[in-house]
Structure 1
Amino acid sequence: MRQVAALPYKTDDSGAVSVLLITSRDTRRWVLPKGNPIRGLASHEAAAHEAFEEAGVSGIACPTPLGQYAYWKRRRNGQIKRATVALFPLAVTEQAEEWPEQDERDTQWFDLAGAAAAVDEPDLSRLIGGFRAPRRPTGRRERLLSWARRQGENLPMLRWFQALMPKQGRFFDQFEDHAATLVAGADALARLLQGGPDIALHVKEIYDREHQADDITRDVLQDVRRILITPFDRTAITGLIAAMDDAIDQMNGTAKAITLFELSDFEPQMRDMSGIIVEAARVTSEVMPLLRSIGDNATRILELTARLVQLEGHADEIHDAGLKALYKAAEGDARPMAFIVGREIYSHLERVVDRFEDVANEVQGLVLDHA
């Protein structure tokens, strides 16, 4: 028996992730919105449909499953059957005031650790707990150095100590700040491809984030030239920040093309690719803090970069299917310009995902060199 489930999540300003759980109708235990595949809907669309029916949330569903888990389902005739559930991340953008099963279930937002502990299925608990690993706490030495730097700014007698400390720049902070612009830009891009009256606002958001990312990239390149001691090889630092910056540049390029051609309606495959971009940005933002201690986090980093590569491969499949459907529709309607314009948007979206794969390759190189 195969089913689909949504992992509804939201991220606050501090970067903390919350997951929405619901109670089952019979046992009242905490579960995720799930159900059987729905004829005519892709698996991630069916999962998103269940999320609204059971929890009243809607958002951006990633077409690439996060993984799968199994549980024993008791059917109405009393039989117990093993069900395998594909789990799809759903970045929540709206929560309705009313929904079909509102009176049948309770809903509650949990942090990742709380959600992982609340569910019964071990594999599901592992998937939730690993959705975004918490940042490793800094060691005693790092806390001491950080304290001394802060005090050195205020106490002249400690400035000599600050002057003796190795100058390694702010590269880790800059990587994390840039990843935050990718998350915001990807969210705006996905909302843009939903259409509606706020297209101009989403385009401006992407534009602003791209300029913010440019400022961070410029700071990184300046620091690479002037800092004596860097945490990684200088070419690795510039390669990583360049790949990240290319991703937000391509998002901005997509927004510019949409504005140029005055588009307001978008193909389902375009929206699916934007869902993959949202997930790729989330994964990238999880990777960046782990670079502070590559040796300790090597296994998790490689898992996450493998996820980025998986997302890029699935995006290629969606791109090809969407392009073929667009060609068939344009051929039948004798509208060659519709195909040309649509191909341009697909090309931009594909390049966005390709740049995230470049980020994965750069990070994997760091792991090979330093772990």
Structure 2
Amino acid sequence: MRQIAVLPYRTTDAGHVEVMLITSRDTRRWVLPKGNRIKGLKSHEAASHEAYEEAGLVGIACPYAIGTYQYRKNRKDGTSRPAIVDIFPFSVTSQLDSWPEQGERELRWFTTNEAAAAVDEAELKDILSTFQPPVWTPGLAERLVTATRRHTAERFTIVRWFQALLPKQGSFFEQFEAHAALNVAAADALGKLLQGGADMPVHSQEIFDRENDADDIIRDVLTDVRKTLITPFDRTAITSLIGSMDDAIDQMNQTAKAVMLYELKEFEPQMRDMAGIIVEAARITADAMPLLRDLGRNAARLHSLTERIVKLEGHADEIHDAGLKALFKAKGDKAPMAFIIGREIYSHLEKITDRFEDVANEIQGLVLDHA
């Protein structure tokens, strides 16, 4: 049998990343919120419904599964049958005060390593142990900008008088990671924005602020590239990577501006699905950045991450085309202006996923050149 599940994750106010597990009603084992497919709902929508029913979770689901695992589902008659579970990343935005199965299960937030140790299935252990939602806290960009300007002689291992003659090495890896974290924060805000509601202006402002923070970082990177004698990669590769990351957050900014300009309040399901893909692509990008510090050792993992981003972009193209077709049928003749505005929002969302594919291609190029 085929089932669906979510992998719920959040970042706490203290900056700690956690994933939620729940206990099964029969065996009391730690599992993900999961269930059977639901007629009339897409797989990730059905998984999101299970998250609501079993744990009261509300969030942004990526419509493209992160992986699968197998287990044997016990039946009431004492027999069991094999089951394959598709897992969808689920960025939790809130937990309700009440839900249908409240009190029937234990719910707990774990670190990824603790969650991997708590579950029984080997494939699920692997997925949890390698799942690394990024950490972002307010003020990160400001601290990073300060750090990139604080170059000291200790970065070099030769005599002090010659240290003063050498250009500064910069902090490129830290800058990559900080920019990626800003992309995550903006993507999360975009996902919340496209859910509608009274807090839309707050989510839009979050995107605007993070885009401004990212501009500070890219300016420092471009300055360091000019001043640094020894860089970890080719200068063009550095500027291309940070440039493609900045293009992604710029497109998120443009999307938020269009939403606020046209005073949109409701969004098509396909738009929300594309936002879910953007959230996941941003998370994967942030997961990849620290691995650039050792390309040789991390080449296989980087290849896996970039391959997923490319597949996500292809999936986003399919959703874009289906959404645009549905929008034309619904609005093309009856409300042409609504169709034009909707088409613009779809175009912005598609460009964001394209930019993340550019990031993946840049990373893959670094792997090929240096691993």
Flag whether TM exceeds 0.5 (same fold): yes
| Structure 1 residue 74, shift from structure 2 partner | 1.0
**Greater Cα offset, 10-19 or 84-93:** 10-19
Question: Residues 275-308 of structure 1, C-alpha deviation per residue, up to 9 Å, x if partnerless?
Answer: 0000000000011111111111111111111111
Q: Where does residue 207 of structure 1 map in the other structure?
A: 208
- Which secondary structure state, in structure 2, belongs to the residue aligned with residue 101 of structure 1? coil
**Mapping of residues 259-274 of structure 1, within 5 Å:** 259-274=260-275
Alpha-carbon contact 2:191-2:279 (below 8 Å) kept: yes
Residue in 2 aligned with 1:143? none
Aligned partner of 2:341 in structure 1 is: 341
CA distance in 2, matches of 1:13, 1:305: 29
Specify the alignment match of 1:142 in structure 2: none
User: How far is 1:205 from its partner?
Assistant: 1.0
Output the CA distance in 2 between the equivalents of 1:16 and 1:369: 34
The superposition leaves residues 215-248 of structure 1 with CA deviations (integer Å, 9 ceiling, x where unpaired) of 1111101111111110000000000001000000
Residues 133, 265 of structure 1: alpha-carbon distance in 2 compared, 3 angstrom cutoff: closer
Number of the residue aligned with 1:283: 284
1:369 correspondence with 2:369: yes
User: Partner residue of 1:42?
Assistant: 42
Cα distance, 1:98 vs structure 2? 2.0
Q: Does residue 1:296 correspond to 2:331, yes or no? A: no
Matches of 2:203 and 2:99 in 1, distance apart?
Answer: 27
Cross-structure match for 1:88: 88
The answer for the alignment partner of 1:65 in structure 2 is 65
Equivalence for 1:26: 26
Q: Residue 131 of structure 2 aligns to which amino acid in structure 1?
A: F
| Mapped partners of 2:161, 2:300: distance in 1 | 39
SS at match of 1:132: coil
Paired residue for 1:103?
A: 103
For residue 177 of structure 1, what is the aligned residue in structure 2?
A: 178
* Residue matched to 2:142: none
1: distance between equivalents of 2:320 and 2:15?
30
Contact 2:248-2:352 within 8 A present in 1 as well: yes
Aligned twin of 1:141: none
**Root mean square deviation of aligned Cα:** 2.2
The change in CA–CA distance for 1:165 and 1:107 in structure 2 (over 3 A counts) is farther
Q: Which structure 2 residue ranges, 5 or more long, are not aligned?
A: 136-146
> Where does residue 6 of structure 1 map in the other structure?
6
Residue 352 (structure 1) aligns with:
352
Q: Give the match's secondary structure for 1:68.
A: strand
Q: TM-score, structure 1 length as denominator?
A: 0.91
Post-superposition Cα deviations, 1:181-236, rounded to whole Å, max 9, x if no partner, equal 10010011111101111111111111111111111111101111111110000000
Task: Indicate the residue corresponding to 1:54 in structure 2.
Answer: 54
**What is residue 321 of structure 1 aligned with on the other side?**
322
Give distance in 1, aligned partners of 2:14 and 2:285: 16
Looking at structure 1, the residues matched to 284 and 165 of structure 2 have their Cα atoms a distance apart, in angstroms, of 36
Q: Are 2:223 and 1:222 aligned?
A: yes
C-alpha distance in 2 between matches for 1:295 and 1:15 = 30
Separation of aligned partners in 1, 2:13 and 2:307: 27
| Amino acid in the other structure paired with 2:284 | V
> Aligned pair count?
354
| Aligned CA distance change for structure 1 residues 44 and 243 (closer, same or farther; 3 Å) | same
User: In 2, distance between residues paired with 1:133 and 1:270?
Assistant: 23
TM-score (normalizing by structure 2)? 0.91
**Offset at 1:167?**
3.5
Give the counterpart letter for 2:350 in structure 1.
E
Note if contact 2:133-2:283 (Cα within 8 Å) is conserved in structure 1: no
> Which whole-Å CA distance do the structure 2 matches of 1:335 and 1:27 have between them?
54
Q: Secondary structure at the match of 2:117?
A: helix
Please state how far the C-alpha of 1:4 moved relative to its aligned partner.
0.3
State whether residues 72 and 80 of structure 2, in contact with CA within 8 Å, keep that contact through their aligned partners in structure 1: yes
Tell me if the contact between 2:166 and 2:229 (Cα under 8 Å) persists in the aligned partners: no
Q: Report deviation, 1:159.
A: 6.5
Q: Deviations over 1:330-360 (max 9, x none)?
A: 14x6211111110000000000000000000
What is the CA–CA distance in structure 1 between the aligned matches of 2:119 and 2:166, rounded to whole Å? 47
Deviation at 1:15, TM superposition (A): 5.9
Query: What is the Cα deviation at residue 17 of structure 1?
Result: 2.5
Q: AA paired with 1:253?
A: Q
CA distance in 1, matches of 2:194, 2:152: 48
Instruction: Tell me the secondary structure at the aligned position of residue 6 of structure 2.
Output: strand
